[in-house]
Amino acid sequence: MTLKKTLFFIAVFFAYTNVFASIVITNGLTHSYKLKEGILQKGIITIQNTSDIAQNVKLYQQDYSYNATGTSFYEDYGKNKRSNLKWIKLSTNLLKIEGRSKTDVSYEITIPENTPAGSFWSVVMVEPVDDVVPNDVKNGIQLKTLIRYSIQMVTTNEKPAKALMTFDAINLKKIEGKHVLELTISNNGEIFHIVEATIEIFDSKDGSNKGKFKSDIQSLLPNNSKLFTIDLSSVPVGNYNASILASSAEDHVFGINIELNIPNE
């Protein structure tokens, strides 16, 4: 009897997991616009149900921030001074998507008149929800996995704005046997950036170029920070001079020169 009960609850767990994991966003998790004040911008969020079972989905808005430790903060409106949450109108906040189909949820954004320069943002959360049914499970614990999506909605005013990125920490670490450069980069300006970090390395004795190495590309909101990593496992042991750059897709470049020691470990 105990074995049968155990198998039953495992089956329930996987059933919920498969249903909730079937909802996907197919047109990107960042929607970014450069707009003039008072001009209406329309867009859509495309939600697909990859399962055979119809799924209810709710949408709601929150303010959003993060830091270089990887922690994200989802908060009610009011804490982010650069929130655009009130500028965004969703066509619906609850819908039902039939199995093996997709649905577009439309939205409208308008930057109000006399808005300060720079980028403003919030997120639209997309979350599957259950039908309301009686719970007739009397014994044991019913488990389920909830998967929700956070879609960044970024609006940048066309007014001239300040761009500034800083290097808060630079550390060389040994991770899984590889030398990895970790860069904590903060966006201290007013503009949303798509950022790539690079390091160009030169021999400290003869100045010969030992190569340029790149991080993955990441987005970076104003007043937030992220960790960028660069694999330096192919750089031989030795002492070097190096130039580190943080470059954005808008051709903003910020740099710092360092001395780099690759130890013999």
pLDDT at 165 over 80: yes
Are the C-beta atoms of 49 and 101 separated by less than 8 Å? Answer: yes
Q: How far apart are CA 171 and CA 168, in angstroms?
A: 10
Q: How far apart are CA 188 and CA 252, in angstroms?
A: 13
At 128, is the pLDDT very low, low, confident or very high (cuts 50, 70, 90)? very high
pLDDT at 142 over 80: no
Q: What is the mean pLDDT of residues 108-136?
A: 88
Domain boundaries of the chain, sorted by first residue: 2-157, 165-262
Q: What is the mean pLDDT of residues 130-159?
A: 75
**pLDDT tens digit string along 32-57?**
999 999 999 999 999 999 999 999 99
pLDDT at 84 over 90: yes
pLDDT at 7 over 90: no
Q: What is the mean pLDDT of residues 181-191?
A: 98
133-137, 147-151, 258-262: range with lowest mean pLDDT: 133-137
- Which fold does the domain 2-157 belong to in CATH? Immunoglobulin-like (2.60.40)
Angle 4-8-11 from CA coordinates, rounded to 5°: 140
The letter for the amino acid at 202 is F
Give, for 170, the enclosing helix (H) or strand (E): strand 165-175
Q: What is the pLDDT of residue 3?
A: 38
Q: What is the pLDDT of residue 130?
A: 84
Q: What is the pLDDT of residue 258?
A: 98
Is domain 165-262 given the CATH code 2.60.40.10 in the classification?
Answer: yes
Q: What is the pLDDT of residue 134?
A: 52
Give, for 104, the enclosing helix (H) or strand (E): strand 101-110
Q: Which residues pair with 177 in a beta bridge?
A: none
Are the C-beta atoms of 62 and 126 separated by less than 8 Å? Answer: no
Question: Where on the phi/psi map is residue 245: left (φ > 0), alpha (ψ -120 to 50), or beta?
Answer: beta
Are the C-beta atoms of 105 and 90 separated by less than 8 Å? Answer: yes
Q: What is the pLDDT of residue 265?
A: 76
User: Phi/psi at 13 (nearest 5 deg)?
Assistant: -60, -50
